[in-house]
A and B are shown apart, each in its own frame.
Chain A
Amino acid sequence: MTSYTSAEMMTVGAARALTNDDVCFVGIGLPSAACNLARLTHAPRLTLVYESGTIETKPTVLPLSIGDGELAETALTTVSVPEMFQYWLQGGRISVGFLGGAQIDRFGNLNSTVIGSYARPKVRLPGSGGAPEIATSCGRIYIVMRHNPRGFVETLDFVTSLGHGPTGRERRALGVTTEGPALLVTDLCVMRPHPESKEFEVTSLHPGVTRDQVTTQTGWAVRFTDDVRETAPPTSHELQVLRDLNERTTRAHGAATNE
Chain B
Amino acid sequence: MALTSTLADAIARTVRPGDRIALEGFTHLIPFAAGHEIIRQGIRDLTLIRMTPDLLYDQLIGTGCARKLIFSWGGNPGVGSLHRLRDAIERGWPRPLEIEEHSHAAMANAYAAGAAGLPSAVFRGYVGTDHASVNPNIKFVNCPFTGERLACVPSLRPDVTIIHAQKADKLGNVLIEGIVGVQKEAVLAATRAIATVEEIVDRLPTAGTNAVILPSWTLTDVVLVPGGALPSYAHGYYPRDNAFYLSWDAISRDRDSFQAWIDTHVMERTAVGSAMSSGAGRTA
B181 proximal to A (CB < 8 A)? yes
Interface residues of A in 146-183 (CB under 8 A from B): 158-162, 165, 170-171, 174-176
Chain A contact residues (Cβ within 8 angstroms of B): what range? 35 or more
Which B residues lie within 8 Å of A66 (CB)? 26-27, 77
On whether the beta carbons of B243 and A67 are closer than 8 Å, the reply is: no
How many angstroms between the C-alpha atoms of A175 and B142 in the bound complex?
Answer: 13
B124 within 8 A of A: yes
Partner of A121, one of B89, B124, B185, B245: B89
Q: How far is the CA of A13 from the CA of B204 in the complex (A)?
A: 48
- Scan B198-221; emit 1 where CB is below 8 A from any A CB, else 0: 000000000001101000000000
Please count the residue pairs between chain A and chain B whose beta carbons lie under 8 angstroms apart in the complex: 187
Assess whether B103 is in contact with A130, with CB atoms less than 8 Å apart.
yes
Q: Complex: how many Å from CA A60 to CA B260?
A: 38
Task: Provide the bound-state CA to CA distance between A63 and B149, in Å.
Answer: 37
Q: Chain A residues near B178 (CB, 8 Å)? A: 69, 72, 78
Q: Complex formed: what's the CA distance from A41 to B155 in Å?
A: 44
A52-B26, A126-B81 as given contacts; A159 in contact with B127, CB under 8 Å: no
List B contacts of A51 (CB < 8 A).
104
B103 touches A131 (CB 8 A): yes
- Tell yes or no: B108 within 8 A of A by CB: yes
Is B248 an interface residue when CB atoms closer than 8 A count as contact?
no
Cα–Cα distance between A161 and B130 once the two chains are bound (Å)? 8
**B127:A176 contact, CB within 8 angstroms:** yes
Among B15-23, B37-45, B233-241, which stretch is in contact with chain A? B233-241
CB proximity of A168 to chain B, nearest CB, Å: 12
A80-B212, A82-B111, A175-B148 as given contacts; A132 in contact with B125, CB under 8 Å: yes
Residues of A within 8 A of B108 (CB): 81-82, 84-86
Interface residues of B, Cβ cutoff 8 Å to A: 26-28, 51-52, 71-75, 77-79, 81-82, 85-86, 89-90, 101-105, 108-109, 111-112, 123-131, 134, 148-149, 178-182, 184-185, 209-210, 212, 233, 235, 239-240, 242-243, 245-246
Question: 20 A-B pairs, CB-CB below 8 angstroms?
Answer: A53-B180, A63-B78, A67-B26, A67-B181, A69-B239, A77-B210, A80-B182, A80-B212, A81-B181, A81-B182, A119-B134, A124-B90, A127-B71, A127-B72, A127-B75, A132-B127, A159-B129, A162-B127, A170-B128, A176-B128
Q: A81-B181, A118-B134 are in contact. List 8 more A-B contacts (CB 8 A).
A: A72-B178, A79-B210, A82-B109, A126-B75, A127-B101, A161-B129, A174-B127, A255-B246
